[in-house]
Amino acid sequence: MAKTVGYACSIKLQWLNKAIQLLGENLEESAYKENLNEYLAFEIDSPTRLRKTREILMNVWFYDANEITRIRQEALSLIEKYPDYAVPVHLCMIYLTYPIVADVCKFIGRIFEFQDEVTNSVLRQKLYDEWGERGTLETTTRRITLTLKEMDILSCETRTRYHLKKQTINNEHIVKFILSVAMRIDGNSYYSFSDIKAFSILFPFEYYVSKEQLMLDDRFVINNFGGELTIALKG
Euclidean distance between CA atoms 16 and 83, whole angstroms: 12
Please report, in tens digits, the pLDDT of each residue of the chain (235 residues total): 334 457 889 999 999 999 999 999 999 999 999 999 999 999 999 999 999 999 999 999 999 888 888 899 999 999 999 999 999 999 999 999 999 899 889 999 999 999 999 887 888 777 777 766 666 777 888 899 999 999 999 998 777 789 999 999 999 999 999 999 999 999 888 899 888 988 999 999 999 999 899 999 999 999 887 778 899 998 6
Query: Do the domain assignments include residue 113?
Result: yes
Q: What's the total number of domains in the chain? A: 2
Domain boundary among 127, 146, 164: 164
Q: Which domain holds residue 109?
A: 99-164
Q: Find residue 221's DSSP bridge partners.
A: 232
Quote the crossing angle between the two packed helices 86-97 and 13-23, to the nearest 10°. Answer: 90
pLDDT in tens, 143-152: 999 999 999 9
Do 47 and 36 touch, CB atoms closer than 8 A? Answer: no
Number of neighbouring beta carbons within 10 Å of residue 116: 8
Percent of the chain with pLDDT over 90: 67
Q: Do 196 and 145 fall into the same domain?
A: no
Contact between residue 168 and residue 207 where contact means Cβ atoms under 8 Å apart: yes
Task: Encode burial over 200-233: b for 16+ CB neighbours within 10 A, e otherwise.
Answer: bbbbbbebebeeeebeebebbebeeeeeebbbeb
Q: Pairing relation of β-strands 161-164 and 154-158?
A: antiparallel
Q: How far apart are CA 182 and CA 188, in angstroms?
A: 10
Question: pTM for the whole thing?
Answer: 0.93
Is residue 139 one of the residues assigned to a domain? yes
- Asked if residue 185 lies in contact with residue 96, where contact means CB atoms within 8 angstroms, the answer is yes
Residue 81 lies in a domain: no
Asked if residue 25 belongs to a domain, the reply is: no
- The CATH number covering residue 160 comes to 1.10.10.10
Specify whether 127 is located in the same domain as 158: yes
Domain boundary among 164, 182, 198: 164
Last residue of a domain, one of 164, 183, 201: 164
Cα distance between residue 20 and residue 14, in whole Å = 10
Q: What is the DSSP string of 155-166?
A: EEEETTEEEE--
- Residue 41 placed within a domain: no
Write out pLDDT tens, residues 149-168.
999 999 987 777 899 999 99
Query: In angstroms, rounded to a whole number, what is the distance separating the alpha carbons of residues 79 and 75?
Result: 6
Say whether 189 sits in a helix, a strand or coil: coil
